[in-house]
Amino acid sequence: NAGVTQTPKFQVLKTGQSMTLQCAQDMNHNSMYWYRQDPGMGLRLIYYSASEGTTDKGEVPNGYNVSRLNKREFSLRLESAAPSQTSVYFCASRGQGSYGYTFGSGTRLTVV
């Protein structure tokens, strides 16, 4: 009963470096999401994928790209990391007909 698995849990990047955050779910959910969490700002949607083969921008997409590799996996890529992207990143998935998201445990990213 893994649910949503995110890797890595922690990462430190230098400004300008690139990296990909990985997310996989084993609940056969159609929809997957990437959020970032910053102090006092709640969770803000970066990108989402309503179904395999589709992706859409959320509230704060600039500086990010995503790939819905298959139904299970949804990755988030930072092409050129900036200090403003220091945050905790959460992946989530949602089953059809449900509003209840299942979240991963997060990736804490620091860009120096």
Partner 1 sequence: GQQLNQSPQSMFIQEGEDVSMNCTSSSIFNTWLWYKQEPGEGPVLLIALYKAGELTSNGRLTAQFGITRKDSFLNISASIPSDVGIYFCAGPPSGSARQLTFGSGTQLTVLP
The answer to the question of residue 45 lying near partner 1 (CB under 8 A) is yes
The answer to the question of residue 95 lying near partner 1 (CB under 8 A) is no
Can you read off the two tokens belonging to residue 63? 């500086």
Can you read off the two tokens belonging to residue 59? 């509230």
The answer to the question of residue 64 lying near partner 1 (CB under 8 A) is no
Residue 68 and residue 52: Cα distance in Å, rounded?
6
Give the residue with the Cβ less far from partner 1, 48 or 64: 48
| Cβ neighbours, 10 Å, residue 19 | 16
Radius of gyration of the chain (CA): 13
The answer to the question of residue 92 lying near partner 1 (CB under 8 A) is yes
Closest distance between partner 1 and the C-beta of residue 78, in Å? 20
The answer to the question of residue 19 lying near partner 1 (CB under 8 A) is no
Closest distance between partner 1 and the C-beta of residue 89, in Å? 10
φ, ψ for residue 97 (rounded to 5)? Answer: 80, 0
Size of residue set near partner 1 by CB under 8 A: 25
Residue 66 CA: distances (Å) to CA of 39, 55, 61: 24, 7, 10
**Contact positions vs partner 1 (CB under 8 A):** 4, 31, 33, 35, 40-45, 48, 50, 56, 58-59, 90, 92, 99-106
